[in-house]
A and B are shown apart, each in its own frame.
Chain A
Amino acid sequence: MSEARTEVLARVRAALGQTGSGTTPSGRVGAPPHPEPVPREYRAAGEHAVGSPEVLEQLVDRLVDYKAHVHQVAADALPATIATLVADLSEPDGGMARPGSDRSVRVVVPAGLDDAWLATLPAEVDVVRDSREDPTAATDLDAVAAVVTAARVAISETGTIVLDGEPDQGRRAISLVPDVHLCVVRAEQAVQTVPEAVRLLGAHPERPQTWISGPSATSDIELDRVEGVHGPRTLHVLLVGATP
């Protein structure tokens, strides 16, 4: 292995014209490159402030365009909205599960999620708390109807929400296997541009990140976009603190 390492690096050096490093496989020694300095003329930030009405309006527009369901809610209405969305899962026709029936709904949440968000869940909802220390098996996650998570940052221009695996967002598997994802984004987490988000995320590059732009989709059949493949087929974004 180390032999391969030595040889690949020697070939790279030869290709760049660093003498004494041998040649590339075809026997070449390249000329040293003269790279231009990187021009950073692109926008480092958008013209609208973080969490501003313009940014939120654009975020909603982009999310809806990708067939995500957006709910703009006041902070105190969040638990009730989550409860309603979860209750809707138990019956395809929208009715509530009958008490005592086996039609109870299982919902997985990361262990660090704000308990207050789940305060008004219907009694028959079975909440599974998942953490790195006490992970739920993937096959069990497959039997779970929905997942509720927070988020790290949202990008309005692209309609993107980023999760970084912190305790209120959880392991990557929990926001992947269940078919419905309820994702809570606070208004002040919404930035306009990709560079703003990358610089924020760059503070902790070691955290596993998942960038989500709408429900899973494919363009593999005649390049037509079809929503809903392996990831959650339904994405509810609960945008908190935005006045609709």
Chain B
Amino acid sequence: MSRTFLGLPRTLRRPDDAGAVDEPFGAVPHPQEPLRWGDAFPAAAKQTLKNDQLRRNLGHATQVIRTKRAAVVGEVPDWEALRDAGSAVKQQVMAQLPDLLQQLEEQVTARGGVVHWARDAAEANRIVADIAKAKGADEVVKVKSMATQEIGLNEALADEGIAAIETDLAELIVQLADDMPSHILVPAIHRNRSEIRDIFLARMGDAPPDLSDVPRELAMAARAHLRRKFLSAKVAVSGANFAVADTGTLAVVESEGNGRMCLTLPETLVTVMGIEKLVPTFDDLEVFLQLLPRSSTGERMNPYTSLWTGVTPGDGPQEFHLVLLDNGRTDVLADEVGRAALHCIRCSACLNVCPVYERVGGHAYGSVYPGPIGAILTPQLTASTGGVSGHHDPNASLPYASTLCGACYEVCPVKIDIPSILVDLRAREVDADRSKHGVDPWKTAMKAASWVMADGDRFALAGRAATLGSGLGGRDHAISVAPPPASAWTRSRDLPAPPRQTFRQWWAAEHETSPVETVETDGPTSEEDDR
């Protein structure tokens, strides 16, 4: 059954909505909180791992992008110097943030823009909705933006009777399928071409009935579908990749031209930007406009980059609003280790190389920021509501969604040491958890181990006792379900079955000396005797 897409997102379902049943595209329900979807990572990952199609799609896409990125990064002789500069510029930005923000505000205002400040998502959404209403718009066109995903702008506008039309191809696919994004750069990365064709045929009213699954044809269908929207839209909403403090210049980096359409044709433009997206000077763009495209889409340069400063009389929107968003960023900034997460330029290279992301997909992270960067950013952004501390918050499990292999750090264009931040967040989560329990099982176990290991006889005895567990392992010598308290471990990992013999027993048998009991642990001398 095909339905006509009339512009208003069909439904923006939330978990507590009754009757959310018909989900032909297997979409995830729209969460109440874009940074906290519900399930903790282990439970969510268990579900997504069952989806073979998802894993095939992701495996293919991440493989393609890794190869492309490696090729275009390899041809830049000064890549490491650019990373060093990018990292240091971002450190400078964080250290001077109050001054730079005020400088940006001054410059944008001087060039005819209006600057708004938003403490949280609700405040930012309110500002955007009020501007759209003041313009009499019941529809806004949108450039793909992580900041507006993060604040749930589309849902908030829908509540006010304003339809937000996503114009980026991948965002359009996600919106038509009533799905949630699963990647920072390519939100529909979990969909393959034939799924996308099916979504277009079912949900895009003006899709040609003989639409094939050739990517070019799919792109053409999106072009035709959106053109009328671009030409008639009164208000556009965008994010920003960079804002230059000393000139008030904003930059949006894109591929399709949908960004240019939104930034150029409507009379009013509203840009929502996290307070960390600054660079101090215009010249600093020379670093980031090299780092970003090669890291994100694996291109030497993305097809289109737009830079604008306030309002240009006679060219482009004649009304420009800039919304500076905190929404948890200051909590991240307060963390001496974790604040480096704010250096992120949203390239998504860390997602594409992550062995965990490649298998579980973006939805398992339960946040609009998935992958390695999401695992450090989401808990910190939600710190004021419990994101970092304790098992009660699903976001506290995110720092464990990693093997700590370090591939994310290797590819990060601004050298965010994601593994170190993950470890730091894990430590914090453990500390917070420990302080909540009366009896600390960890401390108790360590105390017991210390008593056993302090005496040779006790240690030998403990070793022989452990061999009794050798029968618990299956054919692969792994214990998948152990009795308590070891069950806490085997809930999420296998435990290797203990060997049938301790090392002492093996030594004794090999050397046919007296039984282990008589070999006293008096150090090197007994070894010397054996030689």
Is A223 close to B, CB under 8 A?
yes
Among residues of B, the one whose C-beta sits closest to the C-beta of A175 is B260
Interface contact A132-B255, CB-CB below 8 Å: no
What is the CB-to-nearest-CB distance from A226 to chain B, in angstroms, rounded to a whole number?
5
Cα–Cα distance between A11 and B98 once the two chains are bound (Å): 10
Cβ contact of A229, chosen from B98, B117, B223, cutoff 8 A:
B223
Interface residues contributed by chain B, number (CB under 8 Å): 101
Known: A26-B383, A38-B88, A222-B61. A13 touches B98 (CB 8 A): yes
Flag if B196 contacts A35 (CB, 8 Å).
no
* Smallest CB gap from B290: residue in A: A194
Give the shortest distance, in Å, between B98 (CB) and chain A (any CB).
5
Q: Is the CB of A35 within 8 A of B305?
A: no
Contacts of B331 in A (CB 8 A): 15, 24-26, 28
Q: B253: nearest residue on chain A (CB-CB)? A: A211
Q: Which residues 320-337 in B have Cβ within 8 Å of A in the complex?
A: 324, 326, 328, 330-331, 333-336
**With a CB–CB cut-off of 8 A, which chain B residues contact A212?**
303-304
Partner-contacting stretch, out of A49-57, A89-97, A112-120, A154-162: A154-162
Once A39-B85, A41-B81, A198-B286 are accepted as A-B contacts, the answer to whether A216 and B257 lie under 8 Å apart by CB is yes
B301 x A218 contact (CB < 8 A)? no
- Segment 114-156 of B: residues with Cβ below 8 Å from A: 116-119, 123
Q: A12-B98, A14-B334 are in contact. Are A172 and B88 (CB under 8 A)?
A: no
Mark each residue of chain B from 206 to 247: 1 if its CB lies under 8 Å from any CB of chain A, else 0: 000000000110111011001100110000000000001001
Q: Assuming A30-B334, A41-B78, A221-B193, is B227 touching A142 (CB within 8 A)?
A: yes
Can you list, as one digit per residue, whether each of A132-161 has a CB less than 8 Å from chain B (1) or not (0)?
110100110010000000000001011110
Contact between B95 and A30 (Cβ–Cβ < 8 Å)? no
In this assembly, does B275 line the interface, its C-beta being within 8 Å of a C-beta of chain A?
Answer: yes
User: Are B249 and A43 touching (Cβ within 8 A)?
Assistant: no
CB 8 Å contact bits of A99-113 with B (1 = contact, 0 = none): 000000000000000
Interface members, chain B 236-288 (any A CB < 8 Å): 244, 247, 249, 255-258, 260-261, 263-265, 275, 282-283, 285-287
User: What count of chain A residues pass the 8 Å CB interface test?
Assistant: 88
Q: How many angstroms from the CA of A218 to the CA of B299 in the assembled complex?
A: 11
Contact with A along B99-125 (1 / 0, CB 8 A): 001100000000100001111000100
Which residue of chain A is the closest to B336 with respect to CB atoms? A31
Is there a chain A Cβ closer than 8 Å to B186's Cβ? yes
Cβ of B84 under 8 Å from chain A: yes
Chain A residue, CB-CB nearest to B302: A213
Given the known A-B contacts A12-B97, A218-B169, are A41 and B316 also in contact in the complex, defined by CB atoms under 8 Å?
no
Q: Which residues of B contact A206 (CB under 8 A)?
A: 111, 247, 249, 309-310, 312
* A42 in contact with B119 (CB, 8 Å): no
Whose C-beta in chain A lies nearest to the C-beta of B307? A209
Q: Is A236 an interface residue (CB 8 A)?
A: no
Docked-complex contact A37 and B88, CB < 8 angstroms: yes
Residue of B nearest to A214 (CB): B303
A186 at the interface (CB under 8 A from B): no
Candidates B88, B215, B256, B265; contact of A39 at CB < 8 Å? B88
Is there contact, CB below 8 Å, between A228 and B119? no
A41 touches B257 (CB 8 A): no
Output the nearest chain A residue to B62 by Cβ-Cβ distance.
Answer: A223
CB-CB under 8 A from B189, the residues of chain A are 223
Q: CB-CB < 8 A to A199: which residues of B?
A: 283, 286
B60 is an interface residue with CB less than 8 A from chain A = yes
B196 adjacent to A221 (CB under 8 Å)? yes
Q: Are A228 and B215 in contact (CB under 8 A)?
A: no
Interface locus among A2-10, A69-77, A79-87, A121-129: A2-10
Q: Which residues 185-225 of A have a CB within 8 angstroms of B? A: 194-195, 197-199, 201-202, 205-225
> In the complex, which of the residues B119, B261, B308, B333 contacts A4, with contact meaning CB atoms closer than 8 Å?
B119
> Is there an interface contact between B330 and A15, defined as CB atoms closer than 8 Å?
yes
Contact of A33 among B94, B101, B168, B196 (CB under 8 A): B94
**In the complex, what distance in Å separates the CA atom of A4 from the CA atom of B57?**
43
State in angstroms the CA–CA spacing of A12 and B339 once bound together: 12
Which A residues are in CB contact (< 8 Å) with B330?
Answer: 8, 11-12, 14-15, 24-25
* Across-interface contacts of B302 in A (CB, < 8 A): 213
CB neighbors of A among B469-496 (8 A): none
How many angstroms from the CA of A138 to the CA of B77 in the assembled complex? 43
Q: State whether B304 touches A16 (Cβ < 8 A).
A: no
Question: Does B297 reach chain A (CB closer than 8 Å)?
Answer: yes
From B266, which residue of chain A is reached at the shortest CB distance?
Answer: A138
Question: Which 4 pairs of residues, A with B, have the shortest CB-CB distance?
Answer: A132-B314, A231-B257, A30-B334, A230-B257
Where the two chains meet, the residues of A that have a C-beta atom closer than 8 Å to any C-beta of B are 1, 4-5, 7-9, 11-16, 18, 24-43, 62, 66, 131-133, 135, 138-139, 142, 155, 157-160, 165, 171-173, 176-177, 194-195, 197-199, 201-202, 205-232
Q: Given A165-B312, A194-B290, output 6 extra A-B contacts at Cβ < 8 Å.
A: A1-B117, A4-B116, A26-B331, A157-B300, A218-B256, A226-B215
Q: List 18 A-B contacts (CB under 8 A).
A: A8-B117, A15-B334, A16-B95, A26-B384, A27-B384, A133-B314, A138-B265, A177-B265, A194-B290, A208-B308, A211-B304, A211-B307, A215-B303, A216-B257, A219-B65, A222-B193, A226-B215, A230-B261
Which residues of B are interface residues toward A (Cβ below 8 A)? Answer: 57, 60-61, 64-65, 68, 77-78, 81-82, 84-85, 88-89, 91-92, 94-95, 97-98, 101-102, 111, 116-119, 123, 167-170, 173, 186, 188-189, 192-193, 196, 215-216, 218-220, 222-223, 226-227, 230-231, 244, 247, 249, 255-258, 260-261, 263-265, 275, 282-283, 285-287, 289-290, 293, 297, 299-310, 312-316, 324, 326, 328, 330-331, 333-336, 339, 383-384
